[in-house]
Amino acid sequence: MRILVISDLHANITALEAVLTDAGPTDEIWCLGDLVGYGPDPNQVVEKVRDMPQLTCILGNHDVAVIGRMPFETFNGDARRSLSWTEKVLNADNVNFLRALPQNAKVRGQATLAHGSPRDPLWEYVLNTLSARLNFDHFDTPWCFVGHSHIQCLFRLEKATDRVSLETIKVDQTIELSPRMILNPGSVGQPRDRDPRAAYAIYDSAACTWTPRRVAYNVAEVQARIRAAKLPEKHALRLSEGW
């Protein structure tokens, strides 16, 4: 099956629509959480996700906070401002949809899905080989797909040497999957790897391949909505440079 893997949409409907158009038809969609937070379009994004066919979706830390399961004080000042605004504007149907989603890691076929990490699904960032190595002990499937860091990346564990490597990935270059790997599709709504284009991946569960993808979208349009909503200026500025 051809599966669209997305994460960290962060209330950016323009980026999400660009990804869906660029990806084309898929058999399933797997969303690794953080539908809301930072961006100006929480209702539009949640509604778009709600309507996705063959959807598997888990919660991210921003989602958990906005439905009242995590204190806003856990977040930095700018993120708190965004969450407070989101809490006010998110409609009841969309809140109920988020409340019905799981916040723990979920297994789908040969893949474990987690927002942060399999060890700590909501908060831990898998950013280096040490954090990756610790997490390989917390899932049993051949590979694990995570979000949260907003960075497209791939960690591979070599069983013979028990060493983990952080491998270079190239956009549109298909990767043949093998046990064991941790892969991040990057962020749809707020990339942080110095590439402002919306990030996602295509997972072929039959061929066991992973293709990281990027697509440009109208960043200025989203920045204008952030400013109109009087959300933190930082959240507008970072979209231009991908940081």
* Contacts of residue 20, Cβ cutoff 8 Å, sequence gap at least 6: 4, 48
Phi-psi group of 230: left, alpha or beta (phi > 0 → left; psi -120 to 50 → alpha; rest → beta): left
Q: Which fold has domain 2-241?
A: Purple Acid Phosphatase; chain A, domain 2 (3.60.21)
* Contacts of residue 44, Cβ cutoff 8 Å, sequence gap at least 6: 11, 13
Q: What is the reported pLDDT for 189?
A: 98
Q: In 3-state terms, what secondary structure has residue 178?
A: coil
pLDDT digits (tens, 9 = 90+) for 121-146: 999 999 999 999 999 999 999 999 99
Rounded CA separation 126/148 (Å): 8
Strand partners, 157: 164
DSSP H or E stretch at residue 48:
helix 42-50
* Contacts of residue 29, Cβ cutoff 8 Å, sequence gap at least 6: 3, 4, 6, 52, 53, 54, 55, 56
Q: What is the reported pLDDT for 141?
A: 98
Q: What is the mean pLDDT of the chain?
A: 98
Q: What is the reported pLDDT for 170?
A: 96
Q: What is the reported pLDDT for 37?
A: 98
Q: What is the reported pLDDT for 187?
A: 98
Q: What is the reported pLDDT for 201?
A: 98
DSSP, res 100: T
Question: Which whole number is the average pLDDT over 207-232?
Answer: 98
